[in-house]
Structures are given as C-alpha cells and as structure tokens.
Amino acid sequence: MISTNLIFEILLIGCVLAGPSPVKDDKKDGPVIIQATNNTQVPRILYTVDAVESLRQAFSVYADESSIASAYLEIFTVKHPGNWSVVVGYTTIISKSNIYIETQVNGGATLTSDKDKKATAVLYRIFN
C-alpha cells in the first residue's frame, strides 16, 4: 500500500511542474476615470479622460472661450453621443444632471499664486 506521504509528495511535485494556473485578464471596457476635487468646492468630481483630452485639443486650436467651449462640446459629443451642454468661466454653478465633467484650463502657463489663478484660469463644465 502506498503511504500518504508518498502520495502527497507526488501531488506536490505535479503541482510544481504544472506551474501556476492561467489568470484571466479582467480588464473592463469603458472610459477611464480619475477622481479629483477642484476650487469650486464640489466634493468629488469624475473626470472622464476622453473629456479632458477633448478640452486640451479644443484649447490648443482656439483662442477665445466660446470657440473652445463649442469645439470641446463637439469633440466630446462625437465620443459620447447624447444631449450635452457646456458652461464656461463660472465661479459657482448648481445643476441637476446625471453626469458632468468639470475641469480648469490655464493655457499651459504655470500659476504661482491665487491671484494669477483667478486671472488666467477658466473653468469648464460639460453636463448631461
């Protein structure tokens, strides 16, 4: 009769030789989001990476705020169809919406003080 230790050793060697079991890659499809807080005191805002990239693209092409807002909205709507609106350059806003993305753009300049921040940065919010 085969001893229990021998069976255990055979099983252990078999497991070692077989190697680790394959692990399924559980990456989910969908937009990548980052959580952040900004100076409007809204506690936690979901930034959709596509939306932020769309805003950077619009900001690099147009100089005035209304053109940037229009381009931002158009680029975002192509990627995420639906009924979207955009608000530009506000300090406080209350909106009832299911989804909103809010960000601030300063044209790539380094902001060194609150005074500079208020003078050059523009807040953008797009919402559904």
Q: What sign for the dihedral angle of Cα 82, 77, 87, 48?
A: positive
DSSP string, 21-73: PP----PPPS--EEEE--TT--S-EEEEHHHHHHHHHHHHH--SHHHHHHHHH
Residue range 3-26, pLDDT digits in tens: 666 665 666 565 555 555 544 444
pLDDT digits (tens, 9 = 90+) for 43-62: 444 445 566 666 666 677 77
Quick: pLDDT tens for 60-115: 777 777 777 777 777 767 766 666 666 655 555 555 555 555 555 555 444 444 45
CA distance 31 to 72: 17
Phi, psi torsion values for 3, nearest 5 degrees: -75, 155
CATH code assigned to 34-127 = 3.30.740.10
pLDDT value at position 62? 73
Nearest partner of 111 among 120, 99, 102, judged by Cα: 120
Whether 28 has a pLDDT exceeding 70, the answer reads: no
